[in-house]
Amino acid sequence: MSSWITSLEGSAAGHQAALVLAVMAALLHAVFGALQKGTHDPWLSRGAIDFSYGVIAAPFALFVVPWPEPHMWPIFAGAYVIHVAYKLLQAWAYTKGAYMVVYPVVRGTGPLFAVIGAYLIFGETFTLGQWAGVLLLLGGIYGLAAYNLRTITVDRDTLVPALWLAVATGLTVALYTTYDAYGIRATADPFTFLAWFFFIDGLFFMPPLAGYLWLKDPNRPALGPLMARGLIGAFVAFFSFGSIMLATRLDKVGEAAVLRETSVVFAALIGWLILGEKVGPRRLALMALVAAGAVVVEFAG
């Protein structure tokens, strides 16, 4: 599998594979966000998810994939710090604001800075047509956030800090997207990076914190349903974060980052189909704008 993945790098087939991986990451990331924001406290949900994917990844990291080269350990340390900051900000934002307001702002902030980061680090450039696509996509994403902000009826007293936290979270999304692309390109075997990333990232911060918060909670939830959510979230995380990391190894980081942000369309559909939220013609139009922006980015390259 590793040799097949590396053989696709920089090829037309690799470009098509990266496109599929980025869109799959978008769908699964919307599911992941809904799982974290769902019925359980976001801190506990994230702790259960991280614990599950850390435990599952451990045997693959230790016994299956090649061990990381010496230069990879500082890279893993940097990824760990960045992802801890992302998770803290994400969970904090979800405790302050409604999912359908916070999520589009997070996802709308990320791609613009990821494209800039890809230019500075990897020398990637966008055509004028692709920049137009980025503006269409961002307009749709922030339009969704503004519409949801105007119509939402819950957590209104904490919406301002929630929005600031969402913007800060979006900046960490751009940072980890660019940094992870650097990391997965720095090792010979991409699955070495993936296995060790999930192992380190999963076990060494959020689970102890979530365990502490669970013990302190006088109304702590039953562990069974919480850990079931964590197990489901773990597999969603593997395919969501793993897909986008592989996409950034196979093809341009900026394009993958932009295409992943079609996740707001999937998030709106989840809100409608599962959470019972109304979509309406305005949301449909804004979702179409996001999708159109992604299409323009892809075909104007």
What Rg, from alpha-carbon coordinates, does the chain have? 19
Contacts of 285 (CB under 8 A, 6+ apart): none
- The residue ranges of every structural domain in the chain are 2-299
Closest CA to 249 of 198, 184, 176, 179: 184
Structure-token match 């900026």, residue found: 254
**Are 29 and 265 a contacting pair, CB within 8 Å?**
no
Q: What is the pLDDT of residue 159?
A: 74
Q: DSSP letter string over 149-197?
A: HHH--SSGGGHHHHHHHHHHHHHHHHHHHHHHHHHHHSSS-HHHHHHHH
Q: Helix or strand or coil: residue 139?
A: helix
Residue 252, CA distances (Å) to 5, 245, 298 in order: 15, 11, 11
Q: How far apart are CA 254 and CA 30, in angstroms?
A: 19
Q: What is the pLDDT of residue 111?
A: 77
Q: What is the pLDDT of residue 75?
A: 97
Q: How far apart are CA 44 and CA 214, in angstroms?
A: 7
Q: Could you give the count of Cα atoms lying within 13 Å of 69 in the half-sphere of its Cβ?
A: 11
Closest CA to 178 of 99, 291, 260: 260
Q: What is the pLDDT of residue 268?
A: 73
Q: How far apart are CA 187 and CA 182, in angstroms?
A: 9
Q: DSSP letter string over 226-285?
A: HHHHHHHHHHHHHHHHHHHHHHHHHS-HHHHHHHHTTHHHHHHHHHHHTS----HHHHHH
Q: How far apart are CA 187 and CA 271, in angstroms?
A: 39
Q: What is the pLDDT along the chain (301 residues), one digit of tens a residue?
A: 677 777 778 788 888 888 888 888 888 877 877 776 666 677 888 899 999 999 999 999 999 999 999 999 999 999 999 999 998 898 888 788 777 777 778 877 777 788 888 888 888 888 899 889 888 888 887 887 777 777 766 666 777 788 888 889 989 988 998 999 999 999 999 999 999 999 999 988 889 999 999 999 888 888 898 899 899 989 998 998 889 999 999 888 888 888 887 877 787 777 777 766 666 778 778 777 887 887 788 777 6
Residues comprising the chain, all counted: 301
Q: How far apart are CA 158 and CA 96, in angstroms?
A: 5
Closest CA to 42 of 194, 166, 156, 196: 166
